[in-house]
A and B are shown apart, each in its own frame.
Chain A
Amino acid sequence: MRTSPFWSLIFWAGLWELAGRMGWIDLIPPLSATWIAILELFERQTFWDALELTARTFLIGLGLAIAVGIPIGILMGLSRRADKLLSVWVNLFLSAPLTAVVPALMPLLGIGEATVIATVFLFSVWVVIIDSQAGVAHVSTSLVEMGRVFGCTRRRIVFEIVVPAALPEIITGIRLAVIRAVKGVIVGQIIIALIGFGGLFDTFLSMFLMERFWALIIILFAMSFTLIGLIELIERRIAFYAGTR
């Protein structure tokens, strides 16, 4: 029996609706009521303001992470010494509970967008570094030798052979960074609990507006899936790279 995972989700949705209607758990309204709440949310300016803030902080934080992470990763891939010096920290922060750092950002950067941007950056930069490093360090030896045999300068080997050859890994790093950045932008906002979706979540919970709370959750999940799906599409388009190495 091989049915699409889509039907599995429909099944879970049905279960959710049933749980809501039977009132098994107070906090779970029927899915249908949540759908109506989604439409209501779309009509409210606060939602669009929060979305705009989220999109802005997400893009700035992620952009910074990519702009900083790729050069550092490439440097670590090229130079053994840079790698030995930095890899301890990169690996530590890659799997560290960085949520603990967010409270420290608030007195530094204020209770606002800057803290959210820094959270997004901190969540996503490490994986970009690691994957860029791995991509560069694992470029096939014979490609580099080929460049040397045909008389390329070191600069040319780095920029025209090594970096393009590392591109699939770099893109993978960016995809993983997007997933982490989505988590970062939400964690940042709910810890601050005053701005953006964090503020909305706080309001809905304190006023016990469960339909709206779940509606927002569904919207967020849907948006992150769309975003990650898009990145995966781009990644697949250059997958042939890896196959011919």
Chain B
Amino acid sequence: MSDPTSAMTSSGGAVVTGEAEVSSSSRSTFLWRLASFALAFGLWELVGRIEISLAFPPASAVMRAFFEMTASGEFFASYADSLPPLLVGLFITIVGGVSIGVAVGLARTAEWFFVPVLVIFQTAPVSAIIPLLTYVYGIDDRSKIVAIVILGLPLVALNSYKGIQATSPSLLAMARSFMTSRLDTIRLVILPSASEMIFAGLRLGVSGAFIGIVLAELLITPTGIGDLITYNRSIARYDKMFAAIVSILALAAVTLGLMQSLETRLFRTEKRT
């Protein structure tokens, strides 16, 4: 279909409601985002003020606690405990996940060996194993790192594997017909074609890694940001508890957002506006 009609009528989700075309300039995007934040925090503030429970403070109180904790260095101390194992865990997750995924995608034996186990780790509630880690590594950083890797690595590996599996057969046939060596086929055809999916897998892996560190700090190692959450709950400083939760959610969102924009830059040139 080459007529511009399709471009006009299918450009968005509002095909049925017939809403006026909302301009997608960066300024209106910014305004919508602002409205979206205002709506969420407004609702939070409102529900918090009704005082359904002391354990649900309004957004403003949490904000205040957030700045207080930033100024007093509480956040700094907690993240100094959480970030090093998070970074080490992420490094292992990314490097290990991509290596295993690529190996599994290229070699039949590795595929047979690893894929069923990876699928189990991706689908099953592996978080149940995490409490056990204390018995292996005690409460030092290693248990956090292992928790991150358990929850993040299978996602990265499986996505890399799927990306390689999805290489277009006609591209492979093309490479073969030009008598490209196996190494060149991998280097010039398979990896570039899989790179987008591998990168998407990295985002899943990072998301899993954040879940892993939080779970580890809540369940086994009472340090870092997880401890900040549990400690403030135990002394009923719910504003501080929510501030700590918001901080880790925001950190994860910002990290994933940066990865997403990097991904758009790298791969989807047509999405850049």
Q: Do A and B come from one complex?
A: yes
Interface hit among A36-44, A62-70, A181-189, A235-243: A181-189
Asked if B10 lies at the interface with its beta carbon under 8 angstroms from chain A, I say yes
CA distance A15 to B226 in the complex (A): 35
Classify the secondary structure of A's interface with B: helix
CA distance A213 to B128 in the complex (A): 10
Distance to closest chain B CB from A229 (angstroms):
10
- Given A141-B10, A187-B215, A100-B229 contact (CB < 8 Å): yes
Contact assessment for A89 and B128 in the assembled complex, using a CB-CB cutoff below 8 Å: no
Asked if A60 lies at the interface with its beta carbon under 8 angstroms from chain B, I say no
Contact assessment for A186 and B56 in the assembled complex, using a CB-CB cutoff below 8 Å: no
Distance to closest chain A CB from B269 (angstroms):
22
Asked if A46 lies at the interface with its beta carbon under 8 angstroms from chain B, I say no
Asked if A8 lies at the interface with its beta carbon under 8 angstroms from chain B, I say yes
- Given A100-B245, A158-B16, A191-B218, A27-B135 contact (CB < 8 Å): yes
Contact partner, B17, options A78, A99, A187, Cβ 8 Å: A78
Contact assessment for B218 and A99 in the assembled complex, using a CB-CB cutoff below 8 Å: yes
CA distance A27 to B136 in the complex (A): 8
Contact assessment for B13 and A103 in the assembled complex, using a CB-CB cutoff below 8 Å: no
Contact assessment for A99 and B22 in the assembled complex, using a CB-CB cutoff below 8 Å: no
Interface hit among B64-72, B109-117, B173-181, B189-197: B109-117
Please, which residue of chain A has its CB at the minimum distance from the CB of B38?
A85
Contact assessment for B242 and A78 in the assembled complex, using a CB-CB cutoff below 8 Å: no
Asked if B46 lies at the interface with its beta carbon under 8 angstroms from chain A, I say no
- Given A100-B245, A104-B233, A108-B55, A191-B6 contact (CB < 8 Å): no
- Given A97-B214, A100-B248, A187-B125 contact (CB < 8 Å): yes
Asked if A50 lies at the interface with its beta carbon under 8 angstroms from chain B, I say no
Give the residues from 8 to 58 in chain B that come closer than 8 angstroms, CB to CB, to chain A: 9-10, 12-17, 19, 22, 32-33, 35-37, 39-40, 53, 55-56
CA distance A205 to B115 in the complex (A): 29
Asked if A245 lies at the interface with its beta carbon under 8 angstroms from chain B, I say no
Q: A103-B218, A154-B17, A187-B127 are in contact. List 20 more A-B contacts (CB 8 A).
A: A83-B13, A84-B32, A88-B33, A92-B253, A95-B207, A96-B252, A97-B207, A97-B211, A97-B248, A99-B211, A100-B249, A101-B249, A107-B238, A162-B16, A186-B125, A190-B131, A190-B219, A202-B131, A221-B125, A225-B123
Q: Interface on A for B, CB 8 Å cutoff?
A: 1-3, 5, 7-9, 11-12, 25-27, 76-81, 83-86, 88-89, 92, 95-104, 106-108, 133, 136-137, 139, 141, 144-145, 154, 157-158, 162, 179, 182-183, 185-187, 190-191, 197, 201-202, 205, 213, 216-217, 220-221, 224-225, 228
